[in-house]
Amino acid sequence: MSLVDSYVNPYTSLTVAKFGGTSVADFTAMSRSAAIILHAPQTRLVLISACSGVTNILVELANGVTDTQQRHALLTRLTDIHQSVLSQLKQPQQADEAITLLLKNVAELAKKAAIEKSVALTDQLVSHGELLSTHLFAQILRELGIKAIRFDIRDVMRTDGQFGKAIPQPSIIRQLSEQHLLPQLKKHVVVSQGFIGSDEQGNTTTLGRGGSDYSAALMAEAIGASTLEIWTDVPGMYTTDPRIATKAKPIKEISFSEASEMANFGAKILHPSTLVPAIRQQIPVFIGSSKAPEQGGTWIRETVSDAPLFRALALRCNQTMVTLTSLNMFHAYGFLAEVFRILAEHKISVDLITTSEVSVSLTLDQTDTSGGAPTLPAQALAELSELCRVEVEQDLCLVALIGNQMSSTKGSAKTVFSTLEYYNLRMICYGASPHNLCFLVKAQDAKSAIKDLHCAIFE
Ligand code: ASP
Ligand code: MG
């Protein structure tokens, strides 16, 4: 029996809790989050993000700020954010030295990046957000009387060496966690970093923006946790973004399949990969607001008591649509294979696909850490252009209706298309998944399309 099994069974069930940037934004937010941990003794592993806004500043520095004054202004903002928390601690000296050292590292790395930036340097630099916040948060927990220690997740979060979007290696993470982390969890509440990891050579890597959720799920898997909690600034998932449709309703319970579709199709509440480890290990996931834990939140699990035809609407903007047209496609074979060979060679991930007899349209996956519309690399465009006519369109948003048995329920498409009869819908994808119907609309129409649909379906 491995240490994981013997630990989880039979005395206690372990919870991994993740707190996002807004939940650790400042002293007040950190204290609220700490109170949640205080009242949940089963929470032994806590992963946190950088304080809100910090990663953005670090990314800016990593992109190379050559103007010394501007660089110093950014560094001062970083110092202020962390100093403000430090100054409110009862025993700031417990974290002071570490914070000062890390901020000094940031200044040095930012200077380096201004001379020559690199993806490895970027990861090294941006990892400091989480390295800093964990020192402060662990101390806040200790000041509440919790036996907490700070742990460097890079000792266990093994990834490959793709800086900026490193791929985690679950079986090694599990082995390393059994060795280094589980013994600590028996004695302490462990506070550690989301988002960051390290490759085989010990270089710091990151899992991509918003990756802390994914880190938490990977760690829940690695230590055999029975629950994963994601604490953020909204009380769970809603039928759509309440900022777009004010009558959006909270979702109390949702299945893994539906929630995966939502995370993939733009509900920003979860990093899209988060549910992969949770599904692998059947770990229920709770999403709640650290500002209002009493409001409850959303439970995501394998089986749910209610599986409505329509569950929610998600919106993802900044879509890039590529249309490839070739007369050779007519009754021919191998054209799509060739297209996808080129895309694969350039490591371009495709999202939606629709086809006609002579053309295929696809959207590019959002992998750009800046959140902008993905672009087709010049070399890939050149190779595709040799094969067929290539058109690239942007300023498009993806609207996804998530639900259950939609492809086998008569009339479910009718509601959508009759409500949106005056919109120009592109790339309609329906039927491949029972959980999803989606299409593109012009960016300027996206919000009103969501509002109209929400009104017709959910209000
Ligand atoms: N701090 C990182 C970011 O802002 C990771 C995270 O918060 O999930 O992207
Ligand atoms: Mg997040």
CA distance 138 to 151: 9
Cα-Cα-Cα-Cα dihedral of 265, 271, 277, 280, to 10°? -20
**Which residues, other chains included, contact 414 with Cβ-Cβ below 8 Å and sequence gap of 6+?**
none
Q: What protein residues have CB closer than 5 angstroms to ion ligand 2?
A: 20, 210
Helix (H) or strand (E) holding 131: helix 128-143
User: 344 falls in which pLDDT band (50, 70, 90)?
Assistant: very high
What is the pLDDT at residue 1? 35
Mean pLDDT (the chain) is 93
Name the residue at shortest CA distance from atom 6 of ligand 1: 210
| Tokens coding 59 | 């990314």
Task: Say yes or no to pLDDT of 213 above 90.
Answer: yes
Mean pLDDT of 173-177: 98
Q: Is 409 labelled as part of a ligand binding site?
A: no
Q: Is 389 labelled as part of a ligand binding site?
A: no
**Which residues, other chains included, contact 222 with Cβ-Cβ below 8 Å and sequence gap of 6+?**
4, 156, 170, 173, 174, 177, 181
Pick the CATH number of 15-233 from 3.40.309.10, 3.40.50.800, 3.40.1160.10, 1.10.260.40: 3.40.1160.10
Q: pLDDT per residue over 130-164, tens digit each?
A: 999 999 999 999 999 999 999 999 999 999 999 99
Q: Is 21 labelled as part of a ligand binding site?
A: yes
Indicate which atom in ligand 1 lies nearest the CA of residue 56: 4
- Compute the distance from residue 20 Cα to the ligand 2 centre, in Å: 6
Q: Which of 39-43, 64-68, 261-265, 337-341 has the lowest mean pLDDT?
A: 261-265
Q: Is 233 labelled as part of a ligand binding site?
A: yes
Output 334 or 55, whichever has higher pLDDT. Answer: 55
- Compute the distance from residue 232 Cα to the ligand 2 centre, in Å: 7
pTM score, two decimals?
0.89
- Compute the distance from residue 16 Cα to the ligand 1 centre, in Å: 17
Concatenated DSSP letters for 274-304?
A: THHHHHHHT--EEEEETT-GGG-EEEEES--
CA distance 256 to 304: 9
Q: Is 129 in the pocket of ligand 1 (CB under 6 A)?
A: yes
CA distance 329 to 161: 38
What is the pLDDT at residue 10? 36
Say how far residue 457 (Cα) sits from the centre of its chain.
28
Q: Is 209 in the pocket of ligand 1 (CB under 6 A)?
A: yes
- Compute the distance from residue 211 Cα to the ligand 1 centre, in Å: 6
Mean pLDDT of 218-224: 97
Angle, CA of 336, 376 and 197, to the nearest 5°: 105
Q: pLDDT per residue over 408-437, tens digit each?
A: 898 888 989 999 999 999 999 988 888 999
Q: What are phi and psi of 388, to 5 degrees?
A: -165, 180
What is the pLDDT at residue 8? 41
Indicate which atom in ligand 1 lies nearest the CA of residue 50: 1
Are the CB atoms for 222 and 283 separated by under 8 Å?
Answer: no
Are the CB atoms for 312 and 402 separated by under 8 Å?
Answer: yes
- Compute the distance from residue 51 Cα to the ligand 1 centre, in Å: 9
What is the pLDDT at residue 60? 96
CA distance 427 to 348: 19
Q: Is 164 in the pocket of ligand 1 (CB under 6 A)?
A: no
Residue 172's alpha-carbon distances to 61, 98, 116, 186, 365, in angstroms, are 32, 29, 33, 21, 28
Q: Which of 93-107, 169-183, 333-347, 391-405 has the lowest mean pLDDT?
A: 333-347
Spell out the alpha helix ranges (H) of 9-67: 27-38, 54-62
**Which one of 22, 54, 55 would you pick to mutate in the ligand 1 pocket, going by the greatest count of ligand atoms within 8 A of its CB?**
55
Task: Say yes or no to pLDDT of 2 above 50.
Answer: no
**Which residues, other chains included, contact 371 with Cβ-Cβ below 8 Å and sequence gap of 6+?**
209, 318
User: 21 falls in which pLDDT band (50, 70, 90)?
Assistant: very high
What is the pLDDT at residue 349? 86
What is the pLDDT at residue 4? 43
Q: Is 265 labelled as part of a ligand binding site?
A: no
* Beta partners for residue 355, in sequence order: 360
- Compute the distance from residue 387 Cα to the ligand 1 centre, in Å: 40
- Compute the distance from residue 268 Cα to the ligand 2 centre, in Å: 7
CA distance 289 to 235: 4
CA distance 172 to 436: 34
Name the residue at shortest CA distance from atom 5 of ligand 1: 210
Q: Is 431 labelled as part of a ligand binding site?
A: no
Secondary structure class of 438 (helix, strand, coil): strand
CATH node for 311-458 = 3.30.2130.10
Q: Is 152 labelled as part of a ligand binding site?
A: no
Q: Which one, of 281, 306, 286, lies nearest residue 297 by Cα? A: 286
| Tokens coding 130 | 């989480």
Are the CB atoms for 448 and 362 separated by under 8 Å?
Answer: no
Rg (C-alpha) for the chain, rounded Å, is 23
Helix (H) or strand (E) holding 4: helix 3-8
Q: Is 286 in the pocket of ligand 1 (CB under 6 A)?
A: no
| Tokens coding 159 | 């990834």
CA distance 425 to 409: 21
> Would you list the domain boundaries of the chain?
15-233, 311-458
Task: Say yes or no to pLDDT of 89 above 90.
Answer: yes
Indicate which atom in ligand 1 lies nearest the CA of residue 211: 8
| Tokens coding 3 | 């240490």
Q: What is the largest CA-CA distance in the chain?
A: 75
| CA dihedral (408, 411, 416, 421) positive or negative | positive
Q: Is 194 in the pocket of ligand 1 (CB under 6 A)?
A: yes
Q: Which ligand has the nearest atom to the CA of 51?
A: 1
Helix axes 93-115, 119-126, angle to 10 degrees: 160
Mean pLDDT of 353-367: 86
CA distance 438 to 398: 7
User: 268 falls in which pLDDT band (50, 70, 90)?
Assistant: confident
